[in-house]
Amino acid sequence: MAANIEIPNGGSATQSQVSVPVTAQTWMKALVMSRLLMGDISSWAAFENERKTADQITNRRTARSVSSQIGRGYRELSQEVKSFIAKNFVRCEYADLARLCDAVQVGAGMSLRLDEFEKQFFPLSGSVKGRYPFYAHIHISPYGLRFEFPEHHFLRDMETSFPELLEARSSLAGFRGPDFDARREPDLVAGLVAREKFLSRSIVSATFSLLEAFLSGLFFTAIHTNAIGQRACNEEFLRFAGTKESAPLRDRIDRVVRFASDGAQNGGDEPFRAFIEVGKRYRDAIHHTTPFQRKDIEPGGRLTALYEIDGEIALRCIVLSCGTILRISEWINPDSTETDIAARSRELLRKAGGSPR
């Protein structure tokens, strides 16, 4: 299953236009589609069955009968659909939902870039779109209407690995005392150490992939919208975004921080400097492993860094990467509802027990 983000089912939005008279069949398809978008239909088989039933509806009496078969009254479902449309969509008619219902492929669902979805069907409300990146994809399945974007995957990697890392470290604690007999259960200890190392490397890698995706997303958004968050982009930043989006990570962080903070900070301030100076050594050891000398490291230096990676280093990288994203997010969205990326970064930072400041 593709990793997605569930659409929030609340928040204010511009009221959708739902007053156009429709047939009972169109209304019933809109109801079926709304239930699929809300994650209220159990399976593709159930969706296909309800869609076929809707195709056969000829009048309101039949629609009432069908709604009663799924356990809720006609009036209740009608109000639920109207509320769902008003909260999450703009200029969305029942006929639009019915058309979307016909377009969804059983088993495959639907996956479209957000902008393509809005062109083909109807716009999402600003309160919903504001939480997700401009370049996100929409997925529709029995799990509901969800969003997918690169940062989600790397955040999910960290969210999944983090509790497992804590568990591995807790299991190892009893074997690390000064009086522990190293001859006891060596295979068990070796397995736990290997697990901690594996999870730590995965987290370190994910923290850098997360920030790389976040920065690239800001540059892409700037080029296509002339803004990042609530900040309008100047020509200098747009030129950098268009020509230097693959520049060294240190340079990209510095440019974004200078622009987002309106010159108040730069990449030499914390937590940005520490993320590069502390974390990059370990990221390079994972992704560019070599015993040879490099311009920034002595012979064997990357092997030493690779062997050093443990839970403490992984937690430090979480604190620094999430702190970097939060600081930039606060600058570019000072007054708006927190984005999904920022909210999840804040929660990871809290769990890791650190402060980026």
Mention every residue, 6+ apart, whose C-beta is less than 8 A from residue 23: none
In a domain, 334, yes or no: yes
Q: Same domain, yes or no, for 126 and 255?
A: no
Q: Provide the 10 A C-beta neighbour count for residue 353.
A: 9
Number of folded domains in the chain? 2
Range of 158's domain? 152-352
**Could you tell me if 263 and 137 lie in one domain?**
no
Instruction: Say if residues 204 and 319 touch (Cβ distance below 8 Å).
Output: no
Residues 28 and 89 in one domain: yes
* 292: in domain: yes
Same domain, 34 and 127: yes
30 and 101 share one domain: yes
Asked if residue 132 and residue 175 are part of one domain, the reply reads no
pLDDT of residue 8: 41
pLDDT value for 3: 43
Please write down the long-range contacts of 51-58, taking CB distance under 8 Å and 24 or more positions apart. 51/101, 51/102, 53/28, 54/25, 54/28, 54/29, 54/101, 55/25, 55/29, 57/24, 57/25, 57/28, 58/24, 58/25
Block mean pLDDT (10 aa), the chain, length 357:
43 43 83 92 94 79 61 66 90 94 97 96 93 95 96 98 96 84 86 96 98 97 95 96 92 97 96 94 93 87 95 96 96 84 95 70
Residues 113 and 160 in one domain: no
23 with 100, same domain: the answer is yes
Could you say which of 148, 172, 196 is where a domain stops? 148
Residues 201 and 338 reside in one and the same domain: yes
For residue 19, CA distances in Å to 61, 82, 98 come to 20, 10, 15
What pLDDT is stored for residue 201 in this prediction?
97
Query: Which pLDDT belongs to residue 283?
Result: 95
Domain boundary among 98, 132, 148: 148
Contact indicator for 355, 323 with CB cutoff of 8 Å: yes
pTM of the model: 0.86
Residues 157 and 129 in one domain: no
Domain boundary among 82, 116, 148: 148
Q: Both 307 and 337 in a single domain?
A: yes
Whether 92 maps to a domain, the answer reads yes
Whose tokens are 């990467």? That residue is 321
Q: Residue 357 falls within a domain, yes or no?
A: no
How far is 191 from 201, CA to CA, in rounded Å? 15
Q: Are residues 63 and 211 in the same domain?
A: no
- CA distances to 78, 80, 93, 252 from 73, rounded to whole Å, are 9, 11, 22, 56
- Residue 41 domain-assigned? yes
- Asked whether the bond before 271 is cis by omega within 30 degrees of 0, the reply is yes
Using an 8 Å Cβ cutoff, are 249 and 287 in contact? no
* Burial category of 148 from C-beta neighbours within 10 Å (exposed 0-12, middle 13-18, buried 19 and up): middle
- Residues 6 or more apart whose CB falls under 8 angstroms from that of 11 comprise 87, 125, 127, 128, 337
Report yes or no: 152 and 5 within 8 Å, Cβ to Cβ: yes
The answer to whether 225 and 134 have CB atoms below 8 angstroms apart is yes
- At 56, give phi and psi (nearest 5°): -95, -5
